[in-house]
Every structure is written in C-alpha cells, then in structure tokens.
Amino acid sequence: MLAESIRTDVAIIGGGITGSLMAEHLSRLGHSVVVIDREQPGLGSTRASTAMLQWETDSSLSELTDLYGFERAANVYRRSRAAVAGLTELVAAHGISCAFQPRPTLYIAAGDVGEKELSEELALRHRAELPGALLSYTSLRRDFGFDREAAILSPGSAEADPLLLSWSLLRIAGGNGTRIIDADAVNFHDEGGRVLVETSSQHVIDAGHVVLATGYVMPHFVMPACHTISSSFAISTVRQQPDQLWPERALVWEASEPYLYMRTTADNRIVIGGEDEEIADPQVRDAMLADKVLRLREKLARIWPAASAEISHAWCGAFGETSDGLPLIGPVPGASNIYAAYGYGGNGITFSYLASRMIAAMISGEKQAWFEDFALDRTVKSQS
C-alpha cells in the first residue's frame, strides 16, 4: 500500500509485461520511476499470453499497404522487426532466465490465402528489405511436415515465458531504484505541468509523466473508437516426444482471420491458441472454454496429427484489438504528460517493447514523424 505521498519523474500504471519493459528502460535512462499495480504484477493478460514474439503483425504487409500505402506499412514492419531484435538483445544483455529462444515463423496458407497470395505478400516484404522464403506445398511437407498449400518461412522471431520475463524486468528495474506499489490508480489530475495520480489510499503520486500500461482495462478518458476487446483461448498439451515435434520448433500461425497459432515449449509441450470471439465479458468467456478446448484439440489433431492431443492446461483471456491491427502508443489526447502504452493484437509483447522505446523518446522531448503511425488520434482505416 502507498504509505505516504510520493514525487517521481515517471509513474507507470500497470506492472505487466508492458509496464515492466517501460520500468526497466526508463530507470536505466536515469529517471526516478514508480510502478503502481492493484493486483500482483503479471497476473493480468501477461500470464495468459502464449508469448510468440513475432515481428510479422496481425495485419499482413499487403493489408497494411492497402490501408496506408507501402512506405508507411513497410515502416511498421521494420519497427516491429527491430523491436523483436531489441527484446532479444535485452534478454541476452541481462542474462534473463525466461525460456527465451529465437525461432523462425511459419505463416501458413489458410482460408482464402493460398500460394499466390503468400507469394505476393513475400514480394512486398522483400521490397521492404524484410527476410523470408516461400515454401511450396512440397517443400513445406518435406521440410516441416505440414499439409498446407504453402507457407512463408521467416527468421527473427522468438518465444519466452512471459511471466518470468516480466518479473525479471521488474526486479532489474527495482535494482535501478524503481519502487513497485500495490495501489489502484483511480484518477489523474493536471497540476501545473505535472500529473497528480489519485490512488485508492489517502496518498497521491505526484509525477512528471504518467504511462498507462493497464492492459485491457483502459481508463475511460482514453478509449479510442478503433479499440475493441475480444477473447482468445489456448490449450497446452502434455509433454510430447521431442522427435514428434516439427523441425526448428517454428512459431506457426495461419494466414486467416481469426487465426490459429501454435508453438512448442521448453519442456516439449505444444501450445495452440485462437478461436477468438468478440466477447469482453469474463463470465461468458469462461463459460465457452470447455467447447473451445474441444475445437482447439480437433484443430491440433488436423494440423499436427503426430501429437498426443492429451491436454494439460486450458485458459482464456481478454485480447485487445484495433481495427487496423496496430497498437496505440503515445500521448493521450487532451491529457498533458499522460502517455498510453497499449500494444494490442497477437504482437502485444513486441508492441510493448516498441512502446517502451517510443515513450521514453517522447518523454525526453524527441519528435519523429513516424510516431504518428501509432498515435491514439490517428485516422484509423479498417480492413473491409
């Protein structure tokens, strides 16, 4: 609990993976930092994450190009790729023990997206100087064992245990002087260029800057129209024989909407998720879990018949989305010195890293034209 009022350079609201990346980075840059969380940090959506740390975003480069033109779309993809590379370096620099493994991705044909569409997507990625190779039906079957029309194989992604990563980052931030406080931030007041954060206790936090890293519980004064909450479901199998898993332990995801995603774990399980629903109510979501487990199990049996489909865990969680698939990062319109760090979609953690670097730059007064691509008040175009 907050036992006294505090003055700090930056108050971060939320101590999940987004808040912990922010805290590590800002404290390393020399800011005094306070992280406020009303629950145990990490036990929000961070714990539910399957933590496929991909640079390919939920919207393909072709889709983003249709929405915003090639240059802007290519910039998003390059920033996302640099974010996964930055995260990889961060984990290595601190020697963080969180089952972190670099992995390639397999973006596999599904629904209306076949070899022709994947080939066009890859040509666009090459034009943006992004890596990747097309696997035809024969080479996908021969090299990876998947029975799909085609796939794009790309290097440069990763997997991790999100909770261990988040807790380790908070510990490192703590070593840099960050204070972690158990409190509910209930209101924010502009006080002559600073922000007073009202908490559930009688004390306040007087901050030069506030970063909202509250996951899917967005304060009412933020709420852009392009943002919706839905639900995602995931299962983990029992341990598999290592030689029953696919080569290179690639992160696999389908080129469809909504998509199926799966990866292996350090202890040889398969985690498979998807079956997203446009539902925000946790009770309705929980009630659907049993049925979703059966569906995910059936899908696993179809896509990777060699697996034992015995399930060890099943879970679900809130999943924030925007209509263009891009995160919401930057100043909150109409609120001075309050920044939002909402890294939505299946790349949530990649975007959390990006948010930590962008917001640190903004706090230091840096302005870049490309920051607008992720701004909360950008003109958001929607895929039809």
Q: List residues near ligand FAD by CB under 6 A.
A: 13-19, 36-39, 41, 44-46, 48-53, 184-185, 213-215, 217, 232, 234, 273, 317, 319, 343, 346-350, 352
Considering the complex, what minimum distance in angstroms separates the CB of residue 312 from ligand FAD?
Answer: 16
CB of residue 253 to ligand FAD, shortest distance in Å: 9
Q: Which is nearer to ligand FAD, 215 or 224 (CB)?
A: 215
- What 3-state class would DSSP assign to 251? strand
| 3-state DSSP assignment of residue 348 | helix
d(C-alpha 233, C-alpha 295), whole Å: 10
CB atoms within 10 A of CB 31: 20
Residue nearer to ligand FAD on the CB measure, 15 or 117: 15
Give Cα separations from 28 to 42, 327, 350, 356 (angstroms).
Answer: 21, 24, 20, 12
* Proportion of the chain in helix, strand, coil states, percent, rounded to 5: 35, 30, 35
Cα-atom radius of gyration of the chain, to the nearest Å? Answer: 21
Q: Considering beta carbons, is residue 210 or 369 the nearer one to ligand FAD?
A: 210
Q: Compute the least distance from the CB of residue 14 to ligand FAD, in Å.
A: 3
Nearest Cα neighbor of 4 from 189, 194, 181 is: 181
Give min distance, CB of 82 to ligand FAD, in A.
Answer: 15
User: CB of residue 293 vs ligand FAD: minimum separation in angstroms?
Assistant: 13
Length of the chain as a residue count: 384
Nearer to ligand FAD, 53 or 140 (CB): 53
Residue number with CB closer to ligand FAD (101 or 136): 101
In the complex with ligand FAD, which residue's Cβ is closer, 104 or 273? 273
Query: Measured between alpha carbons, how far is 335 from 352 in angstroms, rounded to an integer?
Result: 21
Q: Give 135 or 329: the residue with its C-beta nearer to ligand FAD.
A: 329
- Nearest residue to ligand FAD by CB is 348
- C-alpha torsion sign, points 21, 22, 25, 31: negative
C-alpha torsion sign, points 110, 116, 120, 122 = positive
- Angle formed by the axes of helices 70-94 and 348-363, to 10°? 90
CB of 38 to ligand FAD, least distance (A): 4
CB of 296 to ligand FAD, least distance (A): 11
Nearest distance, CB of residue 71 and ligand FAD, angstroms: 25
Which residue matches tokens 């230091």?
Answer: 364
Residue 343 to residue 299: CA distance in whole angstroms: 28
- Residue 185 or 329 having the CB closest to ligand FAD: 185
As a whole number of angstroms, the distance between CA 132 and CA 143 comes to 15
